[in-house]
Amino acid sequence: MEGDRSFAGKVFLLAGLALACLAASCWLGWRFHQASGGYPIWLVPFGNVSPVDLHVLKDLLLQPDRTQAAVLLFWIYAGPDLIMPAVLAGLGMLLLKRFAPGGTLFRKPLTAANMRALLAVPLVYALADYAENALSLAYFCIAQPPAWIMENAPVALPWIASFKMAFLCITLLLTLRFVLLRWLGVTRPESRR
């Protein structure tokens, strides 16, 4: 019973942090949308932009009357987006570690190697998200980024964002699968040591 309370406390803490980061990101994104003259910033993290769109955003941020938008974009990446990947990865790992044991994968019981691979999925998401954030900061928030960043960032950012979202979705689907199977009674929790 004590372990259940400890687990619930960790989940509520991480979920609360994730919601706080999401709320801060939404507020900063809305403010950026206003300051940039209506640029849909939420297309960037979801990989729904082309290299031309990213060049347009870069040029927009360099305009003297759009300095507030550049500052807000910096704080999106240096604020909530600095914490959110770690929180989401931690929440995914915590839920997978709790609900995956005793489960099956491809009709075979989970082994220790399977479990390590499952726990690596949210970690790969976090690493991809931080790579996207670092590249975005270097590309958008530096007046004169290095030439290799100017050349490669507009092409790499949509790919990294898509990769990141794929691993976040895989984490979510795996977690939901194991929770649902546990709830339906198809799998049984392993005995706690």
In a domain, 62, yes or no: yes
Query: What are the pLDDT digits (tens) for 41-55?
Result: 777 777 678 888 888
In a domain, 189, yes or no: no
At residue 120, the pLDDT reads: 96
Task: Specify the higher pLDDT residue, 144 or 164.
Answer: 164
Task: Specify the higher pLDDT residue, 166 or 104.
Answer: 166
Q: Is the pLDDT of residue 121 over 60?
A: yes
Domain extent at residue 20: 2-39+49-184
Q: What is residue 104's three-state secondary structure? A: strand
Determine the Cα–Cα distance for residues 76 and 69; give it in Å rounded to an integer.
Answer: 10
Determine the Cα–Cα distance for residues 59 and 119; give it in Å rounded to an integer.
Answer: 40
Q: Is the pLDDT of residue 191 over 60?
A: no
Query: What are the pLDDT digits (tens) for 11-37?
Result: 888 888 888 988 888 888 888 888 888
In a domain, 133, yes or no: yes
Whether the Cβ atoms of residue 190 and residue 102 lie closer than 8 Å to each other: yes
In a domain, 142, yes or no: yes
Please give the average per-residue pLDDT across 73-85, as a whole number.
Answer: 87
At residue 92, the pLDDT reads: 92
Q: Is the pLDDT of residue 127 over 70?
A: yes
In a domain, 44, yes or no: no
pLDDT bucket at 134, cuts 50 / 70 / 90 = very high
In a domain, 119, yes or no: yes
In a domain, 190, yes or no: no
In the chain, the number of structural domains is 1
